[in-house]
Amino acid sequence: MEPGELTERVKSLALAVGFDLVGVAAAEATPETEALRDWVAAGYAGEMDYLVRRVEERVDPRRVLEGARSVLAVGLCYDPGEPPATAGDSVGRVARYAGGEDYHDVVGDRLQALAAGIEALLERPVASRCYVDTGPVQERVFAARGGLGWIGKNTCLIHPTLGSYVFLGVLLSELPLIPDAPEPDHCGSCRACLDACPTDAFVDAYVLDARRCISYTTIEQRGEIPEALREGQGELVFGCDICQEVCPWNTRRGRPLPPDPLGLRERLRPRAEWVRPALRWILALDEEAWRAATRRSPLRRARYRGLLRNALVAAGNSGDAVLRPWVERHAEGEDSLLAEHARWALERLPG
Ligand code: SF4
C-alpha cells in the first residue's frame, strides 16, 4: 500500500476505534522535544525523576523504537463541564479528568485496538509502541506537530474547536505515514491563564515550573506541600484546571462534542462521589475505604496519604469550623506529615 493510502486507512481506523482526533508527525527530534533538556536542567520537573532519567528518549522517539518513522497522535475529548455548585457541606474539587475511570486504561485500551487493527489491515506484524502518559514520548509535542492543535501559553494542547480537555495518546511505529501540517498558535496577546494561576506556576508564557503547579503538588509530590503554595490551592484536593477554565478556547462553549458510539466518555464521566466530594468524607476515609473509592481511578496516583494531606489544606482554606473535629483527628494522629498539615489547617479554622 502506498504511504498516502496507508495514512488515510490508518487515520480512519483511529476514528473507528473511538478517537475524536488523529494526526501524524514524523518520528524525529525537534526543537520542541529538545527544549525538555533545558526545562529539566532548570529543575522545573521537581521530584519527577522519571522525566530526568529518560530525557534523551523523550527528545528523540527513535531511541524508544529503533526504525520508528512516524508518530500517530490521537485525542479523546473528556470535558464533563463545570461541577455543580453545592450548598451545605464544605466540598473539595478534583481535576475534571480525574473523577471517572482511569484514562490510562480507556485510552490505552483503544490504542491497543488500533495497533491490532493496523496489523489486521496490513496482514503482518508492525513494530510499534503505544503510550498514553506512560512512556518516554512527549505526546503533546507530537500531537501539535500532527495538527491536533497548538501548545498554548498554559502548556496544554488546544484544539481550535474542541478546546484543551483532551486526552492524548501516541502510536509510534515503523510505518511511513505522511505527516500533517501543524496548527498555528492562536494564543495571540491573551494571557488569561498566566494571570489566573493561583500559585504563579508559569515562569513565562509556555514555561511551567511544575514545582509550583497544583497538579504537581497535589499528585506527584510525596512530602509536604510548601506553605507558600497552600492558600493558592483553595478547595482543590487533586489536580487543577484553572489555567484551562479561563482559556477562551474552552469557555466558548456551545459546540457539540463528537459522537461517542463506544461510550468512552461515559466511562470517563466523574463518579458521583468525586464530583464535589465533601471534605469531611475524605478526611474520615480509612485506607480500605480510600481503596474502594479510588478503584480504577486516576486518583490513586496521589496515594492515600497524599489525598488526605491535600484535603487538610482544602479544609484550612475553607474556613469552615464544622470541619474542626475531622481535622483535629489528624493533628493528633501518628502520621507527622498529616499532623503538620492538620495543625496548619486548624490555625485557619475558627473556634
Ligand atoms: Fe493561550 Fe489565552 Fe488559552 Fe492561555 S488562556 S492558553 S494565553 S488562549
Note the pLDDT tens digit of each residue in 130-163: 999 988 999 999 999 999 999 999 999 999 999 9
pLDDT value of position 83 = 74
Q: Which of 185, 190, 197, 244, when mutated, tests ligand 1's pocket best, judged by the most ligand atoms within 8 Å of its CB? A: 190
pLDDT value of position 253 = 60
Q: With a 6 A CB cut-off, is 167 part of the ligand 1 pocket?
A: no
Q: Is 185 noted as a catalytic residue in this protein?
A: no
- What is the average per-residue pLDDT within 18-27? 98
Residue owning the nearest CA to atom 2 of ligand 1:
190
3-class secondary structure for the chain?
CCHHHHHHHHHHHHHHCCCCEEEEEECCCCHHHHHHHHHHHCCCCCCCHHHHHCHHHHHCHHHCCCCCCEEEEEEEECCCCCCCCCCCCCECEECCCCCCCCHHHHHHHHHHHHHHHHHHHHCCCCCEEEECCCCCCCHHHHHHHCCCCEECCCCCEEECCCECCEEEEEEEECCCCCCCCCCCCCCCCCCHHHHHCCCCCEEECCEECHHHCHHHHHHHCCCCCCHHHHHHHCCEEECCCHHHHCCHHHHCCCCCCCCCCCCHHHHHCCCHHHHCCEHHHHHHCCHHHHHHHCCCCHHHHHHHHHHHHHHHHHHHHHCCHHHHHHHHHHHCCCCHHHHHHHHHHHCCCCC
Ligand 1 centre to CA of 129 (Å) is 32
Q: With a 6 A CB cut-off, is 74 part of the ligand 1 pocket?
A: no
pLDDT value of position 256 = 78
pLDDT value of position 163 = 94
pLDDT value of position 187 = 97
Residue 350 pLDDT level (bands cut at 50, 70, 90): very high
Note the pLDDT tens digit of each residue in 50-86: 888 889 999 999 999 999 999 999 999 998 777 777 7
Note the pLDDT tens digit of each residue in 95-112: 999 999 999 999 999 999
In degrees and rounded to multiples of 5, residue 70 shows phi and psi of -145, 155
- What is the average per-residue pLDDT within 1-21? 97
Note the pLDDT tens digit of each residue in 235-262: 999 999 999 999 999 987 656 788 999 9
pLDDT value of position 254 = 57
Note the pLDDT tens digit of each residue in 30-43: 999 999 999 999 99
Which structural domains are found in the chain, ordered by start? Answer: 3-83+100-173 (3.40.109), 192-253+272-346 (no CATH)
Q: What is the average pLDDT score of the chain?
A: 95
- What is the average per-residue pLDDT within 210-234? 97
- What is the average per-residue pLDDT within 205-229? 97
Residue owning the nearest CA to atom 3 of ligand 1:
247
What number does the ligand 1 atom closest to the CA of 205 have? 7
Q: Other C-beta atoms within 10 Å of 306: how many?
A: 23
pTM (two decimals): 0.94
Residue owning the nearest CA to atom 6 of ligand 1:
152
Q: Is the predicted pLDDT of residue 295 greater than 80, yes or no? A: yes
Residue 263 pLDDT level (bands cut at 50, 70, 90): very high
pLDDT value of position 343 = 98
Q: How far apart are CA 274 and CA 272, in angstroms?
A: 5
Q: How far apart are CA 312 and CA 98, in angstroms?
A: 19
Catalytic residue selected from 89, 105, 109, 133: 133
